[in-house]
Amino acid sequence: MEKFEVAIDAELATVALGRGGFKAVSGEYGSGKTFFARWLQERARASHGFATSEVQVSETETPLHRWETVYRRLAERLATTDTPDGALRSIVDAWFYTLEEDVLASGKVDPGDAQGLLAATDALVEQRLSEISRTAPAFSAVFCSTTITCLAISNGRSPPSSSTTITSAIMRAQPHAG
């Protein structure tokens, strides 16, 4: 893997800046594709704080033409350094916690005012998502859909049927950072 490290680190640094791309790995059975993908996931989580997800596409369990199934598997198998499986809820929870902390740090809301904190946090969510929407217009819609779907999945319910968006295999653990 050493011969790939420089190129992979450059690609991960590009992703960390908010840019993306697509790479495909192909090879014969047993040539190391899965090993390489898992090595890449570990490197992305450990060195850049990314969340990663691995889905094995198969005709019976995860058919590629069934986007909702692929999406559900991606969400179910999202991993971070701290949470090796099922990390989407903790990522979203951490983001909302950070938003609440930012609201409280502003000093504009009394920590004992639950309704005021909720309203100010909602306003900050809208502000942060609108900032992101300037460079990635579909992100806020996908994020809202993902949040609803993520919470449904993590609570053992089926996601809304209109949610057919496929999420990236590697995404920042802190969507507002950068």
- What is the value of pTM for the model shown? 0.60
Please, which pLDDT band fits residue 141 given cuts at 50, 70 and 90? low
Domain residue spans in the chain?
Answer: 51-172
At 78, give phi and psi (nearest 5°): -60, 135
Q: What is the CA radius of gyration of the chain?
A: 18
Nearest of 44, 40, 120, 117 to residue 80 by alpha carbon: 44
CA distances to 41, 52, 90, 115, 178 from 169, rounded to whole Å, are 9, 6, 17, 36, 19
CA distances from 74 to 52, 86, 114 (A): 9, 9, 34
Q: pLDDT tens for residues 2-28?
A: 888 999 999 999 988 888 778 888 899
Across all residues in the chain, what is the average pLDDT?
77
- Taking only the tens place, the pLDDT of each residue in 70-126 is 888 888 899 999 888 888 888 888 888 899 999 999 999 998 998 888 889 888 888
Rounded to a whole number of angstroms, the distance between the first and last alpha carbons of the chain is: 29
Residue 35 has a pLDDT of 93
d(C-alpha 142, C-alpha 134), whole Å: 14
What does the pLDDT read at residue 143?
Answer: 62
